[in-house]
Structures are given as C-alpha cells and as structure tokens.
C-alpha cells in the first residue's frame, strides 16, 4: 500500500508546482462552478421568478452573499480548532450538494432553504481548501504566489463554466435543472478530493491532540456537524429579512476583531506586526469587493435589461457574458501573471504586495469608468453595447489579478500556522462585508419607480458606476502612498 508523504516530502517538490496543487485545483474548480453559477442566477431568479423589485433584489443578493462569506470565517475557526481542513471540506461539500438538490425539488418554494445549506457548506469548504494550498510550501518559498496564481486559474475555469451555463440553463430551459447542477457538480468535486486525499499526508488533518480520548474527539466533531445544521432556521430568518442581516453585520465584525486580539496575546511582537499588516489588507479588500461584486447584483440586472443580446455579431445571453467574461480573462492571464511575478522576483524588480493592491484598485477604477461610458453607446430604449461592457471586465480582471490571488497568499504568509484558518476566514469575512456593501450600493443605484424605463435605469446605474470609479481611484492612490509604512509591518514578507 502506498505510504502517505511527510510534510517535508510534499514541500521539497521540484519545479514550479507541487502535484497536490493540481488535485486541489480540480476540487476547487468544480466547487467554484457551483458557487459562481449560483451567484450569477440569484438576482435574475429573484426578479424574474420570485417577483422582487430590483432594489429589493440587490439587497437580498447582498444579504445572501454576505452570509456566504461570513460563514467562511466560522468555517475557518472550526477547522483550526476541531475538524481540520480535510473534514471541513468534506462536510461543506455534502451540505452544498443537499442545498442544490433542495432548491431543484421546488425552486420557488425551497429557494431560501436550499440557499441556507449552501451558505453553511461554502463556509466549511472555501477557506480551508485555500489554506491547504498555502501549507504545500515552505515559509519564504518564492513559488507560493505562482501556486496561488495557478489555483486562482482553477477557480476561474469553474467560475467561467458555471457562470456561462447555469443562468442560461435556468433562463432558456429549466430553473430546476440549473439548481440541480449544483448538486451534481459538487458530487464530482467531492469524488475528486476523496481519490487524492492520501497524497496530502498530514496537511489538513485534525488539530485535536492525539492524546484526546476518542469519545471526546467524536463529541466535538459531531457537535460541530449538528450545530451547523441547528442554525439553519436562524440563517433563514436573517437571509429573508435584511434588517436582521444589518444587525448581524454590525455584530460579527467587532466580535471577530475581539477574538483575534485574544489570540494575538500569545504571539511575539514580530508576529503581531505581521498580523497588523494582514488586517490592513483585509480592510482595503472590503472596498474592492464592494465595487467588484456589483457583478452578481446591479451588473447582473444591468445585463438583463440594458445589454444587446449579441457580441461582435454573435447572439449571446447578456447574463452569461456578465457572469463569464471576467473568469475567461482570468483563465487567460492568471498563470502568466503569476509567472511574471516570479520573473520579476528573480531580478529583484517585483513590486511589493501593497503596491500590487494599489494597482488593483487603479484597474478597478478604469473598468468602472468604462461601465459609465456605456451610456454614450445606448439607443433610445436604453440598450447599449455588450462589447464595451465586456471590455470593462477585461480591464477589471487585471485589478483582480493584482489583488485576489496575492491576498490569499498573503494571509498564509503573514499568519502564524496556528491561526491560518482563522485569518483566511477573516479574509473571506472582509468579502462578506464587501458583498453586504455591494448590495447596499446596488440598491442605491436602482430606480425607485418599478415602472422606470430601461433608459432611466441605465442613467442611474452608469452614474453610480462613475462614482465607484472615483472612489477606487482614490483608494489605489492611498495604498501606493502608504506602501512604505505597511512594508515595515510585514517584516521579511514581500
């Protein structure tokens, strides 16, 4: 029987990428097919099938996405303390499978119940697979950023396929079939991981002491499983009533910071300085995702109402373009971007991570100014150019590539191993606040009048996108100016 490798053997890999990265790539790719496919359907389904007004749909979208990402923090904590990354991943995948098939059974009646299963499932799955990627590398290994770049490409292959197909299946064929795809594809993801599980050796195994009695270990693990199911009614209440979402978001962030401060008391000054730098990146990422995540809310409704159903003369579903264009560009450019960082690193020319973050915001600003410009290409019915819209996503993609894969890598570099799951969870919790803000921003740009014309809607959205472009431009400038200060906090981490 083949022996599981040691941690040293895994990290002493030759070449650019460890083989285990490719296994995680495949697992994450199929999970992201489900996540981004589902995300791309939310606002369209709520407006066209549940009958929500656009303002309400934006708020509802923001609430659902906020809870998805908020629960990645809790998933990270339970993985760190009780389950380990591997069991967390399995449990999360099982819950997502149940969620997909629950909605498919009766999309209108069971939509919110199925979404609750997906919220909890993603919380257990998402932060822990990203943390496992970080643990494939020795501390200081310059290949880590390239590894996260390749992993990020896997995310976006799944996001491209799910974003392209699932909303099209729902709108053109059957919403029941579209939601069933979540369950089917998550089964593929789970099988892919189960077949490769042994190759990860000690990575992701239970953090509980080997000396702990088996009965206590089982009680903690089963308590986690049962507890995560028991909170479904509470999540259902909060998701369906956005006032409760507001309350949750006001509470969870401060509590998280208090918990982190409690953990930080046991670390050295150098470790705490690096955690301070990590919090700086987490804070700015909230603003990035608040703007970027208009993709599933206001931009999804913009595509539904205001885009021509053709791209360079080819008939297309505008929502599929909105959902898939960014992912397609990431697939094309993420690996070259990771290799570019390696090439620059060898020549001591690589910009530091703070400057990369700043560049991310500048590209984001450019993309939103292009979204604003679509008003100049519109006809009298408020229908505008899909080509210009797609070009905006092309520009924004380079901003995402400067920030998101680097952010995942930084959380593993700047965090002590004992709380890496927690810090990865905080990175995604920042995304929760970004998603929450995205819903509020989208609702603020939506027409108050349910009978507003497409042209009126177009003017409101493009005005809003211009404002977001300005804020992104300011944030990018601030980051670049502050980069020397933050670099000192990061110590040896580049």
pLDDT at 433 over 60: yes
- CA-to-CA separations, 437 to 61, 79, 292, 330, 444, in angstroms, rounded: 11, 27, 11, 24, 10
**Alpha helix stretches (DSSP H) within 265-382:** 269-292, 298-306, 318-346, 353-373
pLDDT at 393 over 50: yes
pLDDT tier at 493 (50, 70, 90 boundaries)? low
Q: Is pTM beyond 0.85 here? A: no
Q: What is the mean pLDDT of residues 475-484?
A: 90
Report pLDDT for 1: 46
The closest alpha carbon to 445, from 300, 319, 298, 303, belongs to 298
Contact in structure between 194 and 23 (CB atoms under 8 Å)? no
Burial class (CB in 10 A: 0-12, 13-18, 19+), 310: middle
Report pLDDT for 473: 95
Query: Which pLDDT tens digit goes with each residue over 362-371?
Result: 999 999 999 9
User: Which helix (H) or strand (E) covers residue 310, if one does?
Assistant: strand 310-311
**Three-state secondary structure call for residue 384:** strand
Contact in structure between 232 and 117 (CB atoms under 8 Å)? yes
Q: What is the mean pLDDT of residues 59-88?
A: 82
Query: Which pLDDT tens digit goes with each residue over 324-377?
Result: 899 899 888 877 877 787 788 888 887 877 888 899 999 999 999 999 999 989
pLDDT tier at 405 (50, 70, 90 boundaries)? low
Question: What's the length of the chain?
Answer: 494
Query: Which pLDDT tens digit goes with each residue over 228-272?
Result: 899 899 889 888 887 787 888 888 888 888 888 888 888 888 888
Query: Which pLDDT tens digit goes with each residue over 1-24?
Result: 457 788 787 787 787 778 888 888
Q: What percent of the chain has pLDDT above 90?
A: 22
Architecture of domain 18-490: Up-down Bundle (1.20)
Cα 12 from Cα 138, distance rounded (Å): 8
Query: Which pLDDT tens digit goes with each residue over 35-63?
Result: 888 888 888 899 889 888 888 888 888 88
pLDDT tier at 470 (50, 70, 90 boundaries)? very high
Report pLDDT for 23: 84
State the chain's mean pLDDT as an integer. Answer: 85
**Three-state secondary structure call for residue 301:** helix
Query: Which pLDDT tens digit goes with each residue over 205-221?
Result: 777 777 788 888 889 88
């Amino acid at each position: 029987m083949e022996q599981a490798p040691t941690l040293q053997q895994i990290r002493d890999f030759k070449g650019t990428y460890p083989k285990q990265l490719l296994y995680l790539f495949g697992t994450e790719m199929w999970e992201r097919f489900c996540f981004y496919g589902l995300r791309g359907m939310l606002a369209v389904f709520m407006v066209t099938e549940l009958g929500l007004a656009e303002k309400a749909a934006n708020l509802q979208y923001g609430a659902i996405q906020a809870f998805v990402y908020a629960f990645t923090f809790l998933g990270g904590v339970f993985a760190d303390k009780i389950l380990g990354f591997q069991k967390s991943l399995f449990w999360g995948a099982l819950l997502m499978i149940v969620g997909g098939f629950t909605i498919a059974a009766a999309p209108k009646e069971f939509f919110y119940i199925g979404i609750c299963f997906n919220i909890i499932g993603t919380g257990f799955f998402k932060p822990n697979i990203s943390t496992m990627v970080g643990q494939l590398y020795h501390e200081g290994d310059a290949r880590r950023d390239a590894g996260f770049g390749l992993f990020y490409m896997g995310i976006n292959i799944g996001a491209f396929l799910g974003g392209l197909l699932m909303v099209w299946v729902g709108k053109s064929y059957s919403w029941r079939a579209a939601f069933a795809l979540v369950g089917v594809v998550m089964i593929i993801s789970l099988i892919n991981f189960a077949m490769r599980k042994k190759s990860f050796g000690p990575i992701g195994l239970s953090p509980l002491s080997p000396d702990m009695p088996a009965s206590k270990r089982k009680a903690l693990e089963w308590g986690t499983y049962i507890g995560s199911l028991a909170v479904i009614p509470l999540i259902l209440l909060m998701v369906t009533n956005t006032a409760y979402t507001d309350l949750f978001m006001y509470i969870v962030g401060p509590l998280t910071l208090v918990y982190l401060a409690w953990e930080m008391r046991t670390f050295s000054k150098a470790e705490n300085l690096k955690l301070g730098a990590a919090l700086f990146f987490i804070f700015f990422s909230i603003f990035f995702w608040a703007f970027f995540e208009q993709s599933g809310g206001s931009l999804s409704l913009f595509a539904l109402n205001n885009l021509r159903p053709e791209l360079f003369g080819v008939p297309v579903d505008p929502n599929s373009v909105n959902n898939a264009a960014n992912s397609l560009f990431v697939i094309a450019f993420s690996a070259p971007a990771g290799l570019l960082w390696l090439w620059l690193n060898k020549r001591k020319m690589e910009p530091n991570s703070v400057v990369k973050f700043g560049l991310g915001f500048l590209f984001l600003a450019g993309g939103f100014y292009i979204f604003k410009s679509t008003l100049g290409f519109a006809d009298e019915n408020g229908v505008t150019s899909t080509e210009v819209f797609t070009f905006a996503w092309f520009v924004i993609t380079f901003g995402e590539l400067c920030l998101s894969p680097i952010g995942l890598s930084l959380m593993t570099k700047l965090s002590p191993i004992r709380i890496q799951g927690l810090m990865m969870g905080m990175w995604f919790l920042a995304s929760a606040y970004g998603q929450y803000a995205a819903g509020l921003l989208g609702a603020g740009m939506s027409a108050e009048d349910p009978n507003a014309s497409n042209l009126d809607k177009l003017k409101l959205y493009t005005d809003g996108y211009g404002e977001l472009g300005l804020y992104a431009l300011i944030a990018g400038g601030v980051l670049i100016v502050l980069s020397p200060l933050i670099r000192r906090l990061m110590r040896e981490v580049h």
